[in-house]
Structure 1
Amino acid sequence: MNVPSPPDHGHDYEDKGGLLARESAGDNAPALSISDISALLKRTVEDRFGFVRVRGELSGVKRAASGHLYLCLKDENARLDGVMWRGNAQRLAFRVEDGVEVIATGKLTTYPGRSNYQIVVDRMEVAGEGALLALLAKTKARLEAEGLFAPSRKRPLPFLPRVIGVVTSPTGAVIRDILHRLRDRFPSHVVVWPVLVQGQGAAAQVAAAVRGFSALPPGGPVPRPDLVIVARGGGSVEDLWSFNEEEVVRAVAECSIPVISAVGHETDTTLCDFAADLRAPTPTAAAEIAVPVLGELAAALSDYDARKKRALVRLFGQARERLDLRARRLPQPQTLLQGQTQRLDDLGDRLRRALGHRTELAGAVLARHAGALRPALLANRVRRERERLAAQRLRPDLLLQRIANARSRIETLDRLRCSLDPKAPLQRGYVLVTGPDGHVVRTLAEAETRHRLTLEFADGRLDVSIGTPAATLPAPTPPRPAPKPRQSAPGDAQPKLL
């Protein structure tokens, strides 16, 4: 295909609306790439706005996994994207969240990927005390909704703490005031955890100190406090801002030891005050709240002792009065014995008369029977009894039958004795278990309560203890066999009785 040549008018032809883009000789506006124009814009913006301070309200705050912070600053008519790299974001003195009005310091740059400009923030501060108070109110509402300030979480303070932990600056006047007040009221053991109370890193140190006291074990090298005081002197809202940080508030709320918050003067209020178990208006007041006055305690003890003595004296006096009143109502011992004495005399007289009468009756009975006791009658009775005795003859068959019956009973008793002999089963392999006192042990439960046992075999004894066998005792002398009943000889007409 042939393309016709343009007409020649005697000079170079310039096609202003042609199909192809051509560069003429001497052209000073060559075509730039997108990357080139983006780089030119970036360099121009950064050179012109290398240091700016921008005031606006935070919106769309997002912290990436890398630690970088992405945000947007806006006012009524415009918005500006921004980024804060991780190193600078970690040094922020407040919690960055939507709705906070701040002043951001940094430089403007462009982001070619989205063809927009943004600010790289180096430092960010809350824009004025009003904005700081608004941030404080917002943080308080959020933590209060979690229940960190609930009255039910408050714990009672110990009446007399042995060890008091103080979280404060070791060089300020606060620690000296606390120690001086404690020394005047009630000398106590104080453990100071030195921290920064203002500036960069103060909140992290205060939170770490509170958690450190809470993690101390009882009886360790560092004594575990019974009470923790978080203290700082007065200052502006910005000076006290470390005690409004969320990590400090959570550390105080989670502390396992009762906490007194003594931050600032009486008119200063921080979120740490709401999370603590008790708020003190000043650090000196915290020391006064922590311990009682030793002199007042001694006076109270003396008063209690005096009241106790008076109560005892009054109690003994009342008891003595009641005893005297009851003693007056009791009759005299002579009065109690008068009736019994008279009765005794009466019974004595009756006894003497009864004995005399009884003697007279016995004499009459004896006189009546005295006639029957004659020698002839007694001799006659003796003769009759002798004749009865002579009539009785001793027959051998009667004695033999009686002896046989006795032998049968003896043999039966001997068999019963052998069957009931506790040592007879020992010949068959059984063992007799006895305790130290000689009583027979019949059950396992009874054996477990004894420390020592004696095992008696057929040929000896063995003393044992729990887990340790004792030495074997010598075999006892075998028992003598029971004597067999003597058989009567056939030629004996009458066996001997003995």
Structure 2
Amino acid sequence: MSEFFENDSPSNASEYTVSEISGALKRVVEDAFGNVRVRGEISGYRGPHSSGHAYFALKDDRSRIEAVIWRGTMGRLKFRPEEGMEVIASGKLTTYPGSSKYQIVIENLEPAGAGALMALLEERKRRLQAEGLFDSARKRPLPFMPRVIGVITSPTGAVIRDILHRISDRYPLHVILWPVRVQGETAGAEVTAAVEGFNAIDSDGSIPRPDVLIVARGGGSLEDLWGFNDEALARAVAHSAIPVISAVGHETDWTLIDYAADVRAPTPTGAAEMAVPVKAELEAAIANFGARHSGGLSRLIDRKRTALRAAARVLPSPDQLFAKSRRDLDEVSSRLARALDVSTQAKRARYESLRLTPATLLRRFGEARRTVGACESRIESALRATLRTQRAHLERAGRRVTVEPVARRALALRERLSLFARRKDQAFLMRFERLHRQLGQCERLLGTLSHQAVLTRGFALVLDSEGSIIKQARDISAGQRLALQFADGKADAIATSGEDKPIAPKPRAKTGTDTGNQGSLF
């Protein structure tokens, strides 16, 4: 480098291109600062570029230096850089000829002491708590008997084996493992994706949806557990529709996921114990409940049986209960038979006293005609009397009033008289129709009870020489002259026997008009 500045004379100075000067400065800076450790605060960090590289600056209270982390180095970092984090960067200084700037190429990055990470953690905790993500009202209770449990942890560590062993001992069920990295820069993103993935499973799909999630990891330092302090992971756990149990680290290790989860377990084994009940205890409880149920049922039956027996002792016997009813029933039955006989005799006497004959019906028909005529004459006479009364009243009123009121009164009376006349006609017609119906009923009854209707059905009346009806065969003597009355006329006959036995009919030829097997009686 000294050869460039040995000659101070402008006339003797050598000429260099810009690239030569930039290259010379690059070599000098890289040789002098090939391996440095720089402490500063991250400024202008916006995450890795699309190429995977990260560009930002390190600053303190007076100076600023540009920094870059290549993609290969980003994958090896233990934690993700964040804006405002105080870190110690290890790497080498170099220059960028395109802009005449120098920068540090970071090969390793670590926080500037645990105090810085704790300050960052407290700041995140305050911000998320202010948003209400840690409120107890948001936390959901764990299901008492889950069917499926989702576990988010490393598939190769001892944590998953402890969880499976504890679940199989207490209450064997279906466990779904979502493998993730539990340490390193990508740990937080992978666990976040696992929580969201379990929540995205359809309850009716081929893969069963877990009833509870366990996020587990063994113990470690603050840097080892830093992935579980990721803000996105805390939000995913807080908004999970499935209850989440946090089992990260030992009992003294606290991360943001512990505050956001529904339940915090001191260890992964404790999380398994919280997630499932003890099968043996459930079986013992069920057996105890069954025994208590059987005992209580037996005692209840005994009490009811005792109460029933006590009630049975004070209740009368069935014979005592039904004795009065049986006696009342017997008395009613005996009275019913007597009352039936009495009623039948009364009905028979009343029927016999009626002596309904054609002459009686004709007499009643005549009485009905006379009643109708009397009603008709009374209606006409009443109408004439009403007309005379109304005419007299009209004449008297006419002498007391003027012409116009009289005309109105006369018109009203005329209308009233017309109404009476119509009502008279209607009443007469209704009365006549009712009497006509009664007369028709009497005629039908007369025809039904008349012996002529019986004769038309093939029967005959046996009369003696005086015209009296002979009702019994023993009233006939041999040689007695008889008269047989048929429906279409009479015929004379002589009795050949007077004994009390039927007389065998004489055989006769059947005709086409015969409707039965009945022949002549004589």
Shorter-chain TM-score range: 0.5 to 0.7
1:64-143 alignment runs, 5 A limit:
66=50, 68-85=53-70, 88-89=73-74, 92-110=77-95, 117-143=102-128
The 3 A distance-change label for structure 1 pair 356 and 38 is: closer
User: In the alignment, which residue of structure 1 is the partner of 2:217?
Assistant: 232
Amino acid at match of 1:106: G
Separation of aligned partners in 1, 2:336 and 2:195: 100
1:86-485 alignment runs, 5 A limit:
88-89=73-74, 92-110=77-95, 117-218=102-203, 220=205, 222-339=207-324
Q: CA deviation at 1:34?
A: 6.2
Q: CA deviation at 1:281?
A: 0.5
Equivalent of residue 42 in structure 2, options 50, 58, 61? 58
User: In the alignment, which residue of structure 2 is the partner of 1:429?
Assistant: none
Which range moved further: 268-277 or 288-297? 268-277
Amino acid at match of 1:142: R
User: In the alignment, which residue of structure 2 is the partner of 1:425?
Assistant: none
Task: Kindly name which structure, 1 or 2, has the bigger radius of gyration based on alpha carbons.
Answer: 2
Q: 5+ residue gaps in structure 2?
A: 1-8, 364-522
Separation of aligned partners in 2, 1:247 and 1:355: 102
Q: CA deviation at 1:132?
A: 1.7
Amino acid at match of 1:138: E
Q: Is the 8 A contact 1:46 1:109 kept in 2?
A: yes
Q: CA deviation at 1:289?
A: 0.9
Separation of aligned partners in 2, 1:241 and 1:170: 20
The 3 A distance-change label for structure 1 pair 128 and 331 is: same
Deviations for 1:457-492, whole angstroms, at most 9, x for unmatched residues? Answer: xxxxxxxxxxxxxxxxxxxxxxxxxxxxxxxxxxxx
SS at match of 2:45: strand
Amino acid at match of 1:234: G
Q: Is the 8 A contact 1:69 1:85 kept in 2?
A: yes
User: In the alignment, which residue of structure 2 is the partner of 1:466?
Assistant: none
Q: Is the 8 A contact 1:107 1:121 kept in 2?
A: yes
More helix by share: 2
Separation of aligned partners in 2, 1:295 and 1:224: 26
Q: Is the 8 A contact 2:183 2:224 kept in 1?
A: yes
Q: Is the 8 A contact 2:195 2:240 kept in 1?
A: yes
Q: CA deviation at 1:357?
A: 11
Separation of aligned partners in 2, 1:115 and 1:136: 38
Separation of aligned partners in 1, 2:307 and 2:322: 26
Separation of aligned partners in 2, 1:355 and 1:45: 142
Amino acid at match of 2:247: A
Separation of aligned partners in 1, 2:188 and 2:147: 28
Q: CA deviation at 1:285?
A: 0.7
The 3 A distance-change label for structure 1 pair 323 and 118 is: same
CA RMSD of aligned residues (A): 4.1
Which range moved further: 293-302 or 107-116? 107-116
Amino acid at match of 1:46: E
Q: CA deviation at 1:320?
A: 2.7
The 3 A distance-change label for structure 1 pair 360 and 31 is: closer
The 3 A distance-change label for structure 1 pair 313 and 59 is: same
Which range moved further: 224-233 or 107-116? 107-116
The 3 A distance-change label for structure 1 pair 30 and 213 is: same
The 3 A distance-change label for structure 1 pair 361 and 292 is: closer
Q: CA deviation at 1:134?
A: 1.7
Deviations for 1:4-55, whole angstroms, at most 9, x for unmatched residues? Answer: xxxxxxxxxxxxxxxxxx964xx1x246666655554343223211221101
The 3 A distance-change label for structure 1 pair 45 and 346 is: closer
Q: CA deviation at 1:137?
A: 1.8
The 3 A distance-change label for structure 1 pair 161 and 345 is: closer
Separation of aligned partners in 2, 1:307 and 1:190: 35
SS at match of 1:156: coil
SS at match of 1:144: helix
Q: Is the 8 A contact 1:95 1:245 kept in 2?
A: no
The TM-score, its normalising length taken from structure 2, stands at 0.56
Which range moved further: 232-241 or 254-263? 254-263
Q: Is the 8 A contact 1:155 1:258 kept in 2?
A: yes
SS at match of 1:309: helix
Equivalent of residue 41 in structure 1, options 21, 25, 31? 25
Q: Is the 8 A contact 1:94 1:245 kept in 2?
A: no
Deviations for 1:122-170, whole angstroms, at most 9, x for unmatched residues? Answer: 3322112221222222232333344433333322222222222222223
Separation of aligned partners in 2, 1:349 and 1:63: 114
Deviations for 1:37-87, whole angstroms, at most 9, x for unmatched residues? Answer: 555434322321122110122234345865654433233454434344555
Amino acid at match of 2:213: V
The TM-score, its normalising length taken from structure 1, stands at 0.58
Q: CA deviation at 1:358?
A: 11
The 3 A distance-change label for structure 1 pair 119 and 304 is: same
Amino acid at match of 1:109: T
Q: CA deviation at 1:182?
A: 1.5
Separation of aligned partners in 2, 1:196 and 1:217: 25
Which range moved further: 337-346 or 174-183? 337-346
